[in-house]
Amino acid sequence: MPFSTVVEVRPMKPCPPELAVVALTPYAHVADVEQSLAFYALLGLVPGTRFKLPTGKTVWADASHGSARIMLAQADGEVDPTQQAVLFYLYCNDVAAMRGHLLSQGVHDGGRYCGQPGPNNGCRVVFEVTHPHYMPAGQVRVADPDGFCLLIGQLK
């Protein structure tokens, strides 16, 4: 006999402005914190605090630029981006120039995005700039060293 649970859903009230969250920072578990820091530096994020083991291996770090920030931690096991229900949406002033910069730094050219991970097993890949209705100035899809999806939009 299947087990079922009845959950009462009560109406919720929005948070009062004086209690509202004022910042949000993604926190990603990655295969290699230093490698990820180096990649996010390609996007302009400057490494900040690092926590290292006595062996010297970095197990946690953060990076930021302006109001953009990310925290990175050493994953306990294999990182499988297909099992992560997250993508990171970033903004820059010129997505075409950002794509060119990434390509000049050895990030793999994924060409037109067709729903597949692209070359290099879907890691360290940048795809062509697109112009979706919600980001008419342009957007570029990037996969970081762990294959996490970064969408970088151009606001103006």
Each of the 156 residues of the chain gets a pLDDT tens digit; together they read 566 677 777 888 888 888 887 888 999 999 999 999 999 999 999 999 999 999 999 999 999 999 999 999 999 988 887 777 678 999 999 999 999 999 999 999 999 999 988 999 999 999 999 999 999 999 999 999 999 999 999 988
Of 44, 38, 50, 26, nearest in space to 106 by CA: 38
Q: Give the tokens for residue 33.
A: 């914190």
Q: Do domains 24-75 and 84-156 have the same CATH topology?
A: no
Please tell me the distance from the alpha carbon of residue 114 to that of residue 134, in angstroms, as a whole number: 19
The CATH number of domain 24-75, selected from 1.10.357, 3.30.720, 3.30.1340, 3.40.720 = 3.30.720
The answer to whether residues 25 and 71 touch, using CB atoms and an 8 Å cutoff, is yes
Task: Report the CATH number of the 84-156 domain.
Answer: 3.10.180.10
Domain boundaries, the chain: 24-75, 84-156
> Is residue 34 packed enough to be buried (19+ CB in 10 Å), middle (13-18) or exposed (0-12)?
middle
